[in-house]
Structure 1
């Protein structure tokens, strides 16, 4: 887990953990331990895979209750031993024992999350959140011990007998402690605790107001002409009567699974405007003053500035940079400006082209507005590139895509992926796969695959998929990687297999690349294994790298086969996919650059939020700023989630991934060299995990620092566009 994501949450519990007795505060969970003995709990059996068929909420709670209490108690024992040692060894006496102590707890936590995402009837939200919070608090104890902190800090300062991976582990402990205020005096600790409690309260207010504003909006449609071209899935979501999809009435909401496709398919410009303005004015106070969030924005910003000052940082953005590959706010802003120089002119040209197309197609507006873009972009794609999801979908049956994906990874990374039957799982559709190294007779890792949507059991989100790291690789604890991949693809029918839309194929590749970094990690310590301790702006890199292979025509020979004719995807359709990928790339990139710049300015300056919007909007966007557009007031990613001063990470990881993939692209005509690049990627990004700083990993792989040129090239933006 990224340090910045957990540091503030950890600190809120620190003083209680230090001042209260060992058991105080945990009484809620003690009764839930129940009568199951440790040996009978299938979650924590160490001889093979978990017996998912026998897992219940009760024994999940029993396991987590027992393991967390034991972990906290054992940390106290380590502290006591350290106090009696004159020259304790930071790894022999501290980190190695903690590695072994935490492995069972981590696995229980991972299994609980897997059940929550894979079958919410077995693991309801309330139960999972209780387990998650209890496990998180227990694991935080190791980072909040002054004795442990001092021992590791001394070892880090002396650098005696520490290899590179051990140095990264030690730095993780020290930085966690620093961000949690462990080295502050008592007055400052109290101040920081008060600050973080207030910050949590303000973030909750912001979240609740946005949830209410989102739920309150409803637009009723009675005219069948308006919905005549809407996809059937969308009709099912908005129809008042499931048996009258075509006759209505239909009710629109602002939930993403409704808003996004409706804006793409609705032909009525006035209705599009009404839905758009409702979306961007949430939290503005134009309607219900009780739901305005502008005041919450300023209070959150003030508290984050105060937090930074307490911890000795200039701005909250500087705190964020402690755990990012970018390293500094200046580096982030330089990257944004470099990309903007290409994206903004391209955006202008794309809008001119779209407007001309719309005029030819009957559009009567004087200019293209934000609420027009989704609809006319889709229409232009269909007309210009002969692009239809349904026609492409027929070429991507799930079994063929999976086999092709596995074959690609086996070839590139010299591994073998084999399905194992008879493995206990949380649903009959779940499959299990072992991963073998070329030289190994026993599997080195394994993963579950749960591909199909189950409306009554699984969390439903648009284009959703999850990779859960159930168990990390650790030589110290003698554990091998275990993961779960969970999706919501349409299940097969008696007549047809599961046919994936292209966005589904892309999601599958991305999540599998994410999983490979977890599964093929070869670190000694779980603390830095796989995705653990990877700087947050680099976490998605391996997922993006694998998804980049969908820009290679040879990949489609592996993953495509028409479900009736078994024909491969034709070249013209592949070229159409590339054109769609690049269509309005400047427009989309400019939007992400704007939000990234806004986020960073909000967390590095004191300027009023609306003044920042007015300053930055014309720099990045090619639309007039509407008076009703108060989008920061519903920017939940940075105010209620964990993306504060980190929203740029979405773009940064794409820049790094595109540069990595370009190493494969440069030798695309030489199979031997492709395999050599794959081997290098396997031994750097996939093997080193969080045991090496991603900047150094990149240099090991590429022999230089990253460049944005590859991303711009993949988006078709390498040439600066001059708009006349």
Structure 2
């Protein structure tokens, strides 16, 4: 997942409510990092430095915009890229980077102090970037550059940047005037506040729920490694003598705890308790997202209509690959027709299996993961707890980096002492060219473990800085730096972090996002890496990388038992591959359900006049897409952060849209021969030089066709899921 993939410029911003005199900015570590164009000084950073640094950056950008507008009005020189686009990239960078640090820390090291600063300053950042986007002088300069004779001399990246700038300004309300403009700007401010509140409520609701279990019999079936984690969590919560064997154990709603309990606990009542708590998370006071969702949907529709669109979905698709809402609905419906009958049969098989193995009650939602795991273990003799010891994080990283080197001709090295980090568990790495010129071309942070008290759930890649020729130091190109964030189980005792196979896939997924950000060759920040890439194409590299987890050679390099270093046995690997299609139709229906719900809420649902509630809509869509219906009280929408706190509003369909491209792209590697090192490297370089290098400098379909040699085909996707 991309956490709005680092597009910090116009996503969310800050208000100065109390204009306080600046003091001692020279010693502010954030300011120093911006002035030197260096990485954030996370260890030196003090919370009290954040607000002064932001206020200074806001004030400076405000003055810079005024100066640029004055020059454009006066037309003191002919408009050229160098005197319009270059100053805009340089002047907007300091505030974008500062606000990016604040947003990053809010997601990985959340605190009441940081929230207060974010809340205090958010609307002023929204205002200054809205002012930037709505500048008539800058907008007119964009149009004049596009219509000038110089246009024919621009490269692909420059043309795409200008076209995106014109579209972005239009969608930011540059054409509005008077009361409409004032209202639009109010909507922008309020929408940013609601996103932050939604995210904080999900984090707080997750953090606030805990269950201390003292009776060993209530923990039957839960693997010892999970009991170790639960005892470790209890010890951190004040139960100093907690042990895996005797407890007490602290249960919570963060994924490394919730999923194993639902999958392994024989205590049906315990599974039900956690399932119900998670299904209603963030839907009651004091962390209630219901009103936030309703207001968000209302404001989005109003904003779209001010810009001349009928619905927010139409506004969203104006900057995406998908040509229309109808085409997205068509994709959802066509895939549903293929999946639904198979998913019905899958659920019936699961029900029969549960009855056969002693369940007398009707199959409930909190039974599905339990019996799915049991049946999977029996059908394929496969158990996550058997697999995990073969995937210690250090070994997985070594293998992932080796694969990256062989495919894309780069070398990855640990560089933990070269950057300050926000937590002791965070790692830092350099990416170098291979060969005689082994210069550093990119860097990244890796934050692998769950910390439910301060870190958002899920996994994502975000931008620290992007590649830019203008924004480098001493004439050098500024190299891209990424944040890679996961939430897997931390080390327990003397054991390293042992990863489930799904966690391995997740790491490969986020690393794919990171590769597109880091291996770009575009030298304009606005089109480098993931910037400027249509949202429904941005999942291509991430989903593409997941496919290597099912290649024997890759598995050999990323696996090694944490005690013996023995690679994953062949039989286990074969079982993993066989199990890939297990309940695949049910899994796809789940994603289609989310996408269809997202699109319906942003296209067909009228939050002002509809007699149906958002939860009635949720259940209506589920009735079509889900084989087992959700609980009557299920309020999944209240924690659907992708569309209410992230960048996927009217865009969740992007996962499936891009998966068509990713499966087809991987097909070229299969055709070349995954075990033919020479052909694999050749194809890898082709992928690097197109999908990873070109970023937003060309349309994604053009980039794909340049790599694949033809238009995309859905056949590879259907084959992967066994739906042909």
Instruction: Provide TM-score, normalisation by structure 1.
Output: 0.84
2:387 to 392, 406, 415: 392
Whole-angstrom distance in 1 between the partners of 2:207 and 2:420: 36
- List aligned pairs for 1:608-647, cutoff 5 A: 608=612, 609=614, 612-613=617-618, 615-624=620-629, 627-629=632-634, 631-632=636-637, 635=640, 637-639=642-644, 641-647=646-652
Asked if the contact 1:64–1:134 (Cα under 8 Å) also holds between the matched residues in 2, the reply is: no
- List aligned pairs for 1:84-233, cutoff 5 A: 84-85=74-75, 88-110=78-100, 124=114, 126=116, 138-157=128-147, 159-196=151-188, 224-230=216-222, 231-232=226-227, 233=229
Q: Does 1:75 align with 2:68?
A: no
C-alpha distance after superposition, 1:160-188 (max 9, x if no partner): 53332112211222222112211013132
Q: Does 1:43 align with 2:49?
A: no
The residue number in structure 2 matching 1:712 is 718
SS in 2 for 1:647: coil
SS in 2 for 1:434: strand
Change in 2 beyond 3 A, CA 1:238/1:402: closer
Of stretches 531-540 and 588-597 in structure 1, the one that deviates more from structure 2 is 531-540
Change in 2 beyond 3 A, CA 1:127/1:442: farther
Whole-angstrom distance in 1 between the partners of 2:493 and 2:247: 30
Change in 2 beyond 3 A, CA 1:292/1:264: same
The residue number in structure 2 matching 1:599 is 598
The residue number in structure 1 matching 2:511 is 512
SS in 2 for 1:565: coil
The residue number in structure 1 matching 2:418 is 423
Change in 2 beyond 3 A, CA 1:129/1:396: farther
1:474 to 468, 492, 501: 468
C-alpha distance after superposition, 1:101-152 (max 9, x if no partner): 3444444455556666666699955556768776665555432311101110
Q: Does 1:340 align with 2:336?
A: yes
- List aligned pairs for 1:543-692, cutoff 5 A: 543-606=542-605, 608=612, 609=614, 612-613=617-618, 615-624=620-629, 627-629=632-634, 631-632=636-637, 635=640, 637-639=642-644, 641-668=646-673, 669-692=675-698
Pairwise CA distance, 1:631:
4.4
Pairwise CA distance, 1:621:
1.9
Whole-angstrom distance in 2 between the partners of 1:548 and 1:639: 29
SS in 2 for 1:469: strand
Unaligned runs of 5+ in 2: 473-477
Asked if the contact 1:446–1:519 (Cα under 8 Å) also holds between the matched residues in 2, the reply is: yes
SS in 1 for 2:693: helix
Pairwise CA distance, 1:369:
3.3
Asked if the contact 1:241–1:248 (Cα under 8 Å) also holds between the matched residues in 2, the reply is: no
SS in 2 for 1:447: strand
C-alpha distance after superposition, 1:469-512 (max 9, x if no partner): 22211123332222343555666689554443323322322222
Of stretches 115-124 and 224-233 in structure 1, the one that deviates more from structure 2 is 115-124
Whole-angstrom distance in 2 between the partners of 1:296 and 1:60: 27
- List aligned pairs for 1:270-419, cutoff 5 A: 270=269, 272-273=271-272, 275-277=274-276, 279-280=278-279, 300-366=296-362, 368-419=363-414
Of stretches 57-66 and 198-207 in structure 1, the one that deviates more from structure 2 is 198-207
The residue number in structure 2 matching 1:501 is 500
Whole-angstrom distance in 2 between the partners of 1:116 and 1:686: 29
Pairwise CA distance, 1:337:
2.0
Pairwise CA distance, 1:281:
5.5
C-alpha distance after superposition, 1:604-643 (max 9, x if no partner): 1146356645653343222356544454566554345543
Whole-angstrom distance in 1 between the partners of 2:368 and 2:631: 15
The residue number in structure 2 matching 1:722 is none
Unaligned runs of 5+ in 1: 14-24, 720-724
Change in 2 beyond 3 A, CA 1:294/1:220: same
Of stretches 213-222 and 405-414 in structure 1, the one that deviates more from structure 2 is 213-222
Asked if the contact 2:442–2:519 (Cα under 8 Å) also holds between the matched residues in 1, the reply is: no
1:701 to 700, 707, 711: 707
Whole-angstrom distance in 1 between the partners of 2:124 and 2:404: 37
